[in-house]
Amino acid sequence: MAHFARTFAAASALSAALSLGAQAETPTLPWTPSGQITMMIGFQAGGGADSLARVLSDALSATYGWTVVPENIAGRGGAAMAEALKKEPADGLTIGFTVSQSLAYDPQIAMIPTYGLEDFDFLSSVTGSQVGIVARADRGWKTLGDVIEAARAGQKISFAAMTQQLSDGTYVIGKHNGVAFTSVNVQGGRGGVNAVMAQDVDIAWAGGTQASSVSSGDLVNLASGEATPLIMSPDAPLLSQYDVPYDFGAKFLLIAPAGLPEEVKTSLEQAVAGLLNDPDSALHTLTVRNFSGPEVVQGAALRAAMQQRYDQATKLIDDAAE
């Protein structure tokens, strides 16, 4: 869900350089873990969430003297990890790294929901995605409005999406603009970009992996799928210009089983914030290089933001079902 041209390799390189960026004095925190901390990662190795989680794990270990061990528990868009994490003791020794969609959208479309927002303590956001809608530059389209006009004129437009939430977005964009797109499911963060480049589809959702192709002039961001303009294409219109009031971006999050003692929660929050706010840290550098930059939202503000995303997902699901 971000530009991963150098993800896993870059993450490893950045982690190896942590000693250069580590603070000279370890900040004093109200809690010290009694043993190893396991950081469950809701996605497979090599992707954006994994690269962020591994750099964060190494940074926490190097900076605070903890032993933080990443463990991939991939499956069902982060659901497998969430199910496993909620069963762990709320003692700070097991935490999870995931994306907002896994907690705000996915449980609402599950036949039998196995977890909810109330099952977790939300420790910190880390960064965000750069979701856009892309097309080959040689198609001549500059904005999503051009594509909508082509569809209104009778052209059949195929639209690739890599998640159910984005497939709902495809339908809703068409519905709100009087056209119908042919929705195509693709796999993985680069699925949509690869399909567009191969001319297998006309347009696609992309979570940030489009950055290098946009920079080279091969692709164009027709619209931002985020609530804010894209960093790589600040002039790309927001979906609100096309009567679509939803934010399709994702936030990368550190979470824990619900019920953490206050001193544990405070220590984990302060530790993550310290790394994100340090411009010399590997974590800060990675968020700037491949994502939306460091985003530190914690405590009640983060829980409120997640509830807002949950409520918006409910509206999107209802909108797509009509």
Report the percent of the chain where pLDDT is more than 70: 92
Beta pairing, strands 251-257 & 158-161? unpaired
**Domain identity same for 123 and 145:** no
* Domain end among 182, 214, 242: 242
Evaluate whether residue 258 is within a structural domain: yes
Between the CA of residue 67 and those of 35, 87, 103, 251, 311, what are the distances in Å? 7, 21, 27, 25, 37
How far is residue 120's CA from residue 293's CA, in Å, rounded to a whole number? 25
Q: Quick one: 17 and 124 in the same domain? A: yes
Residue 2 within any structural domain of the chain: no
Domain stops at, among 213, 242, 271: 242
On whether both 136 and 176 belong to a single domain, the answer is yes
Residue 20 pLDDT: 44
Do 209 and 179 sit in the same domain of this protein?
A: yes
- Going by C-alpha positions, the residue among 159, 186, 176, 166 that lies closest to residue 250 is 166
* H/E run at residue 183: strand 182-185
Residue 193 in domain: yes
Domain boundary among 242, 269, 301: 242
What is the count of structural domains for the chain? 2
What is the per-residue pLDDT across 69-116, written as a single tens digit (0 to 9) for each?
A: 999 999 999 999 999 999 999 999 999 999 999 999 999 999 999 999
Contact between residue 224 and residue 233 where contact means Cβ atoms under 8 Å apart: yes
- What mean pLDDT comes out for the span 257-270? 99
Q: Are residues 232 and 295 in the same domain?
A: no
Residue 88 is assigned to a structural domain of this protein: yes
φ and ψ at residue 199, rounded to 5 degrees: 65, 30
CA angle at residue 234 from 230 to 237, to 5 degrees?
A: 85
Q: Please indicate, yes or no, if residue 74 is contained in any of the structural domains.
A: yes
- What is the span of the domain harbouring residue 183? 132-242
Q: In terms of domains, do 146 and 213 share one?
A: yes
On whether both 21 and 165 belong to a single domain, the answer is no
208 and 65 in a single domain? The answer is no
Are residues 207 and 59 both part of a single domain? no
| Residues 298 and 217 reside in one and the same domain | no
> What CATH number is associated with residue 84?
3.40.190.150
- Rounded to two decimals, the pTM is 0.90
Confidence check: pLDDT of 5 > 50: no
3-state DSSP call for residue 38? Answer: strand
Asked if residue 75 belongs to a domain, the reply is: yes
Q: Which of 315, 117, 131, 121 is nearest to 206 (CA)?
A: 131
Q: How would residue 25 be classed by pLDDT, with cut points 50, 70 and 90?
A: low
In a domain, 159, yes or no: yes
In a domain, 26, yes or no: yes
Chain centroid to CA 291 = 9
Same domain, 124 and 169: no
Query: Which pLDDT belongs to residue 23?
Result: 43
Query: Residue 304 corresponds to which tokens in the numbers above?
Result: 């409120």
> By the 8 A CB rule, do 119 and 257 touch?
yes
- What angle, 0 to 180 degrees and rounded to 10, lies between the N-to-C axes of helices 164-176 and 299-321? 60
Confidence of residue 134 (pLDDT cuts 50, 70, 90): very high
CA nearest neighbour of 316 among 246, 264, 214: 246
Which residues, in sequence order, are CB contacts of 284 under 8 Å at separation 6+? 275, 276, 277, 278, 294
Q: What is the CATH number of the domain that holds 195?
A: 3.40.190.10
**pLDDT above 80 (res 6):** no
- Residues 104 and 211 occupy one common structural domain: no
